[in-house]
Amino acid sequence: MRLHGYFRSSASWRVRIALALKGLSWETIPHSLVDGEQRDPGFLALNPQGLVPALEIDGLVLTQSLAICEYLDETHPQPPLLPPDAAGRARARALAQAIACDLHPVQNLRVLQRIRAIAGNADAGTIWARETCDQGLDAFAELVGEGAGAFCLGDAPGLADLILVPQLANARRFGCDMRWPRLLAIEEACLSLSAFASTAPSAVEQG
Amino acid sequence: MRLHGYFRSSASWRVRIALALKGLSWETIPHSLVDGEQRDPGFLALNPQGLVPALEIDGLVLTQSLAICEYLDETHPQPPLLPPDAAGRARARALAQAIACDLHPVQNLRVLQRIRAIAGNADAGTIWARETCDQGLDAFAELVGEGAGAFCLGDAPGLADLILVPQLANARRFGCDMRWPRLLAIEEACLSLSAFASTAPSAVEQG
């Protein structure tokens, strides 16, 4: 199995966590987003979107981090990334999508580069990113609530957690004040696990 | 069942299509995004994100259009919105997310308002929206390919189609040149079905 990704890409880190939680091993094919390598013709032939991650597995090329995580969960059910009931799955997916659809896309590198170009200065991108992270994580913290366990949805990590942790790293990088004690507690619980810590950008950068 | 939405919201239209494909009936609770009604305290108590759609069903409040569609598919399996096999589901979800994560969020009203404010003129938002639609739908057309059936993934409409059709409407509104013959053929096949046509913004605006 070959994972096309980039060490600092949040969406790539999500998939690395899912693979590690499932106890799977993989080969990394790096594509530097800073150097625009995701637009190389060879990679575009694999994924016409020119985005990482893409996972070569079972003779398929899978794209989109959430779709990849659901595929891994269906084909390698243990440990589960989603709750066993439809209501629980809807809640887990809604939490994941609150970040993956409403927050992360509007603060990723592609958008920041456009904002900087429109504004004519580099700070505009960072201010935008910080504000969208603050708003998005305020809402996410409300959605998660106090909860009963150490993770977003109970006592085991799952889809919502593997989306949250990379986003918190982005928020920290953008200079957010990290005003979400419950989310930071979830992050600490996650990063105490090898599946999260060993796949972090700082851990895989040299790899 | 009560659907909190807005007639012109793409994400609300997705859920209306899913409900209609499943043969379900629902009450609409409108929230004007233009007037900012999705930020009213009463609605924020239901959905702290302050976004539509939200679906009250089975004693739950579900948010996030894709999570809602998956819930409806799990609880009302016929007709299915997703293929029966894991690889097919991964492909359907990846197509849906190519629009729902990478395209729609960066051209929705909230972002356009910010772009206009940064640029200091209204046109900047429309130019941005048109360019992101062009790029996103170019990639989507490549991902769909020529295909075998009238819809994105065969002979029946599903998750990818109910995400595509509202996005094509957005692209048309932003003045895109609609250079995707295969996608327009899929749109035509979809809009020949009542589940798509009867739930379109123009059809429900008076409702």
How many Å apart are CA A114 and CA A181, to the nearest integer? 32
Contact B103, B133 (CB under 8 A): yes
Asked if the Cβ–Cβ distance from A93 to B70 is below 8 Å, we say: yes
pLDDT value at residue B108: 84
Q: Per-residue pLDDT for B147 more than 80? A: no
Judge if B124 and B61 occupy the same domain: no
Instruction: Write the single-letter amino acid at A95.
Output: L
Higher pLDDT, A131 or A122: A131
Asked if the Cβ–Cβ distance from A98 to B66 is below 8 Å, we say: no
Give me the percent of chain A exceeding a pLDDT of 90: 80
Which pLDDT band, with edges at 50, 70 and 90, does B207 fall under? very low
Asked if the Cβ–Cβ distance from A106 to B101 is below 8 Å, we say: no
Selection from B70, B33, B63 nearest residue B159 by Cα: B70
Decide if B201 is inside a domain.
no
Label residue A39 left, alpha or beta by phi (over 0 means left) and psi (-120 to 50 means alpha): alpha
Residue found by looking up tokens 């004519």 in the block: A120
Decide if A207 is inside a domain.
no
CA distances in angstroms from B22 to A89, A90, A191, B78, B79, listed in the order given: 19, 17, 41, 7, 6
Q: Which of B79, B96, B113 marks a domain boundary?
A: B79
Label residue A120 left, alpha or beta by phi (over 0 means left) and psi (-120 to 50 means alpha): left
Tens of pLDDT, residue by residue over B1-58, are 999 999 999 999 999 999 999 999 999 999 988 888 888 898 999 998 899 999 999 9
> Which residues, 6 or more positions from A137, have their beta carbon under 8 angstroms from its beta carbon?
A103, A167, A168, A171, A176, A180, A183
Judge if B104 and B183 occupy the same domain: yes
Residue B69, H or E segment: helix B65-75
Residue found by looking up tokens 């976004």 in the block: B51
Which positions in chain B touch A48 (Cβ < 8 Å)? 139, 142-143
CB nearest to A101's CB, from B58, B100, B111: B100
Tens of pLDDT, residue by residue over B64-97, are 999 999 999 999 999 999 999 999 999 999 999 9
Instruction: Write the single-letter amino acid at A4.
Output: H
Q: Per-residue pLDDT for B112 more than 90? A: no
Decide if A145 is inside a domain.
yes
Judge if B41 and B91 occupy the same domain: no
pLDDT value at residue A206: 53
Higher pLDDT, A150 or B113: A150
Asked if the Cβ–Cβ distance from A70 to B89 is below 8 Å, we say: yes
**Considering Cα of B94, then B96, then B98, then B102, what sign does the dihedral take?**
negative
pLDDT value at residue B111: 84
pLDDT value at residue B206: 53
Per the structure, the complete domain to which residue A188 belongs is given by 86-196
Judge if B60 and B110 occupy the same domain: no
Decide if B111 is inside a domain.
yes
Tens of pLDDT, residue by residue over A77-112, are 999 999 999 999 999 999 999 999 999 999 988 788
Mean pLDDT (whole number) for A7-23: 97
Asked if the Cβ–Cβ distance from B119 to A115 is below 8 Å, we say: no
Judge if B100 and B72 occupy the same domain: no
Selection from A29, A4, A10 nearest residue A196 by Cα: A10
Judge if B100 and B182 occupy the same domain: yes
Decide if A135 is inside a domain.
yes
Decide if A201 is inside a domain.
no
The two most distant CA atoms of chain B are separated, in Å, by 49
Nearest residue on chain A to B74, judged by CA atoms? A86
Q: Per-residue pLDDT for A33 more than 90? A: no
Q: Per-residue pLDDT for A46 more than 60? A: yes
What 3-state class would DSSP assign to A54?
Answer: strand
The total domain count for chain B is: 2
Contact A95, A163 (CB under 8 A): yes
pLDDT mean across residues, chain B:
94
Decide if B177 is inside a domain.
yes
Q: Which of B79, B113, B147 marks a domain boundary?
A: B79
Name the DSSP letter for residue A117. Answer: H
| List of E strands, chain A | 2-5, 27-30, 54-57, 60-63
Q: Which of A58, A79, A100 marks a domain boundary?
A: A79
CA distances in angstroms from A197 to A99, A174, A204, B164, listed in the order given: 20, 20, 10, 37
Mean pLDDT (whole number) for A166-192: 97
Label residue A141 left, alpha or beta by phi (over 0 means left) and psi (-120 to 50 means alpha): alpha
Higher pLDDT, B113 or B11: B11
Q: Per-residue pLDDT for A142 more than 50? A: yes
Asked if the Cβ–Cβ distance from B118 to A118 is below 8 Å, we say: yes
CATH of residue B166's domain is 1.20.1050.10
Which pLDDT band, with edges at 50, 70 and 90, does A207 fall under? very low
Tens of pLDDT, residue by residue over A68-77, are 999 999 999 9
Q: Per-residue pLDDT for A24 more than 60? A: yes
Decide if B207 is inside a domain.
no
Judge if B92 and B192 occupy the same domain: yes
Interface residues from chain B to A (CB-CB < 8 Å): 48-51, 58, 60, 62-64, 66-68, 70-71, 74-75, 86-87, 89-91, 93-94, 97-98, 100-102, 104-106, 111, 114-115, 118-119, 124, 128, 139, 142-143
Judge if B173 and B91 occupy the same domain: yes
CATH of residue A74's domain is 3.40.30.10
ipTM above 0.90, yes or no: yes
